[in-house]
Structure 1
Amino acid sequence: MSSLARARRMDGVTSSPVRDLLALTRRPGVISFAGGLPAPELFDTDGLRAAFARALADPDAARALQYSPTEGDPALREIIAGRLSDQGLATAHDDLLITTGSQQGLSLIASALLDPGAVVLVEEPAYLSALQCFQLAQARIVPVPGDEEGVDPDALERIAARERPALLYLVPTFSNPTGRTLGAERRERIAEIAARLDFWLVEDDPYHELRYSGRPLTPVSARVPDRSLYLGSFSKLVSPGMRVGWLRAPAETLTQLTILKQAADLHTSTIDQAAAAEYLATTDLDARLRVLRETYRHRRDAMLAGLREITPPGTTWTEPEGGMFVWVTLPGQVDTAELLHEALRHDVAFVPGAAFQVSEPDRATMRLSFTTFSPDTIAEGLRRLAKALG
């Protein structure tokens, strides 16, 4: 029997193991450290309900339910531009394209900048869904090694000079999956290398405002605004279900990305954008963020304390200053993909680290997310993980 045609770009592109795990761990009683999920009890449901009501109030209801410009809601873009400028990344509203989550922005960038065979440099390990985007674009993905402070600039310079990449993709602040953060000196070096060797810097920054310790750092993009594409999202700060993100880019490139978005979905949901603009205009987001930071700081600390108690000697892990993730490396010849099966028997889950690695993976690694559960539930989940570790 003949099979229907399928695009070659789908060859080798697999489902995200995180998405698969989320389905697997929905059964009652499972404590899942697998997904990078915001704490649902911290969603401002009353505030968002009121924002949607205002967006749908007469005489604005018809506008909020109508088609809208591809570039996005002007009021929303103005608010986002102000917040980015306050963080040190000077931005005007017409520097921005509103996207259906920052993931769409990444997909648009891959479509706009990558021909088949183009080289993309990524930190090792790297964000899974970014790897999917680059695979779909049929790019050649080349990992850049690093250490506890992220990408090694010397290695980046050497590899970029050899490979002549189209772009470097980074999550430089509280990286997914490791939780690492590039320091100020490395940010300067990486920006200088991108400018000198003439490749794009794609900075994915969804966790920037979720800092629990240490001092804030200016986005890397502020150092090379004409060579950078900056992605952000309200998914971690307000609601992932709204799917409201943004992309900052130089004018000519932004025009091309806007045309691609027209072909993809015409525009991001008008009502969700209008509600987001209403919410941000009337809510003290900084006060909301203080609650998130304080809550997540306690949860991070609970996970780090618990790991010290339940892991075997020789285990190492990152100690993130913010974000959602801890990266754990177990001693010996452990395969965490096999360990996951045993962990699920004890009703606890994590993501095996091999899925995030482009080169030969270190199979003794895993990613744990600490934001979803209370400290007591985190402690119980780690006790269950200890049983799986034996």
Structure 2
Amino acid sequence: MARRRYAAPLAMDLFRPLQREGSALLSDQLAQRIRDLVAAGHLKAGDYLPPLRFLARRLHLSIGTVSKAYTSLGREGLVAGDSTRGLRVRSGAPIPSRTGQRPWASLVMRPTVPADPLGVELPQPMGPSPVRLHASEPGTDLLPTALVARAFGAALAEGANLRYAPIGGLPEVRAAVDGYLRRRGIALAGAEVLLTAGTTQSLAIITHALLPPGGVVLTEHPTWYMALAVFAAAGARVIALPVDDEGLEVGGLADAVLRCNPAFLYLQPAFQNPTGVSLSPARRAELLAVARRLQLLVIEDDYAAELAFGESPESLRTAEGADVVIYVKSFAKLIAPALRIGAIVAPARYAVALKSALHGLDPFVSTVTQRALAACLTAPAFDTHLKALTAALARRAHALDRTLGAHQPFGARWTRPAGGLCAWMELPPRVRADEFVRDAARRGVLLAPGRLFCLDESGERGLRIAFAAATPSEIERGAGIIGELLELRARKRRPPTGRSREVAP
């Protein structure tokens, strides 16, 4: 093979020494450098990457380190093999983001059928009083027990409510749900509204109705593990687009749509589970523009937009997005997880397909539950409850961030949500989430490992830290233990210089 030549500016950047003192893995640094060179136009479609041995020798790396970086780029669809001549930048490859923000998980452009995340067994905590940082639900002290008791009591007092509800729901309950959604600014004109037994069933209905055999679904990465469970059960092939501190990275969306013809894009634009980040207004506008231009159907999962510590993020399903957005609403986090009822708001053209899928997946939503939901939504105490719940969640989120910041764990970073119920932590290099979760459980702290929410090894260093189910004092204790465990690992491998104390905004 003829020796390849590299222009001086490219060579200066490509062969520049990597940072060995910091927290980032060498393979991650190399992969990011190549992404930046492609984004800047210094590496163009058709250009070859240096051979493994050559680049390893120039950068004083092992061949395995270079191979890991190249494998990551190949999985993203940025490079591809060319017979025996090596890897080259793909024509039409997604252009990497140049926002300067580090995403919380990688781009997965190779369609992948997810593993069932519910098959993962989590370790049991040691000690009498575990700290529940694994469950993304309000603590029992935050639930509106009196409001729910009155609502269910009134529903159970009438024998007729123990019968099947009419298919489609009770008219007065539908009116209460419609009124609530209109007050939230959700566009209902010309839409079909379906009542369901919660968001998991809503997603199952949508997937059953709209996903063709072998079809592709786009998601955020990381994403809600129950969505992955639904897609796994349907045999959906998933492509995952990274999330950073402004939500979904929209820059590669059009390319993914044109290359893979997905059935739909699923996302949680407000306080995404598991990261807690929200889609920025600029990206919201860009996403809707792409969806309208390419006729991409968007599934908006709104489970907690009301739980904003400041101004609530705007829904995607306003008048400008009504034709391309199916809106999925849950009430479990707002009222009580045991209240298994939700709603789908869809453009009318999908009504027949969605109703048919609903009829095959249980069309009967409990009459008692419907009555209880309507009573809660129309009670003056509901708004009072939401305000108290949001204020309590803000205090808990602040306790988590403050305690983690006090420990300043070397090489770790985490999100600082402006609402919702959970945050995401990226562990330092060489700290694996599964091992860390087991160690934390031995100290009485329950955490959710990142692999529940990811399609690739991005989850190996990720943790979801849910702050809603624990009291502020419990959060301080649990976050303190997380900091102590990270400090113990840092002592075993502390670089001589370049100590980084990074916290994501």
TM-score norm. by structure 1 comes to 0.90
Q: Does 1:231 align with 2:331?
A: no
Per-residue deviation, residues 261-299 of structure 1 (Å, max 9, x unmatched): 222223111111112112222343221110001111000
Q: CA separation of 1:29/1:194 partners in 2, compared to 1, >3 Å: closer, same or farther?
A: same
> Which residue is equivalent to 1:258?
355
CA distance in 2, matches of 1:301, 1:144: 29
CA distance in 2, matches of 1:116, 1:311: 48
Q: Does 1:304 align with 2:404?
A: no
Q: Is the 8 A contact 1:74 1:93 kept in 2?
A: no
CA distance in 2, matches of 1:263, 1:54: 31
Question: 158-167 vs 353-362, which deviates more?
Answer: 353-362
> Which residue is equivalent to 1:83?
180
Which protein shows a greater Rg?
2
> Which residue is equivalent to 2:116?
14
> Which residue is equivalent to 2:346?
249
RMSD: 2.1
CA distance in 1, matches of 2:407, 2:174: 46
Per-residue deviation, residues 339-388 of structure 1 (Å, max 9, x unmatched): 11111111112111122112342522211000111111111112222343
Give the secondary structure class of the aligned counterpart of 2:317: helix
CA distance in 2, matches of 1:184, 1:198: 21
Q: CA separation of 1:17/1:387 partners in 2, compared to 1, >3 Å: closer, same or farther?
A: farther
CA distance in 1, matches of 2:127, 2:356: 42
> Which residue is equivalent to 2:163?
66
Q: Of the candidates 375, 378, 385, which is equivalent to residue 278 of structure 1?
A: 375
CA distance in 2, matches of 1:263, 1:224: 29
Give the secondary structure class of the aligned counterpart of 2:153: helix
Give the secondary structure class of the aligned counterpart of 2:323: helix
CA distance in 1, matches of 2:359, 2:162: 18
CA distance in 2, matches of 1:40, 1:93: 39
Give the secondary structure class of the aligned counterpart of 2:364: coil
Q: Of the candidates 173, 198, 217, which is equivalent to residue 270 of structure 2?
A: 173
Shift of 1:26: 9.8
Name the structure where helix makes up a greater proportion of residues.
Answer: 1
Q: Does 1:56 align with 2:153?
A: no
| Higher RCO, 1 vs 2 (CA within 8 Å, ≥6 residues apart) | 1
CA distance in 1, matches of 2:189, 2:114: 40
Give the secondary structure class of the aligned counterpart of 1:265: coil
CA distance in 2, matches of 1:317, 1:270: 42
> Which residue is equivalent to 1:4?
none
Runs (4+) of structure 1 exceeding 4 A deviation are: none
> Which residue is equivalent to 1:7?
none
Q: CA separation of 1:385/1:86 partners in 2, compared to 1, >3 Å: closer, same or farther?
A: same
CA distance in 2, matches of 1:123, 1:194: 15
Shift of 1:300: 0.4
Shift of 1:256: 2.5
- Is there any run of 5+ residues in structure 1 with no aligned partner, and where? 1-10
Q: Of the candidates 363, 366, 370, which is equivalent to residue 269 of structure 1?
A: 366
Amino acid at match of 1:202: I
Q: Does 1:31 align with 2:131?
A: yes
1:80-119 alignment runs, 5 A limit? 80-91=177-188, 95-119=192-216
Q: Is the 8 A contact 2:177 2:377 kept in 1?
A: no
Shift of 1:121: 0.6
CA distance in 2, matches of 1:91, 1:26: 49
CA distance in 1, matches of 2:134, 2:378: 34
- Is there any run of 5+ residues in structure 2 with no aligned partner, and where? 1-112, 489-505
Q: Of the candidates 248, 262, 269, which is equivalent to residue 151 of structure 1?
A: 248
CA distance in 2, matches of 1:345, 1:27: 8
CA distance in 2, matches of 1:46, 1:84: 24
Shift of 1:53: 2.3
Query: What is the number of residues matched between the two proteins?
Result: 374
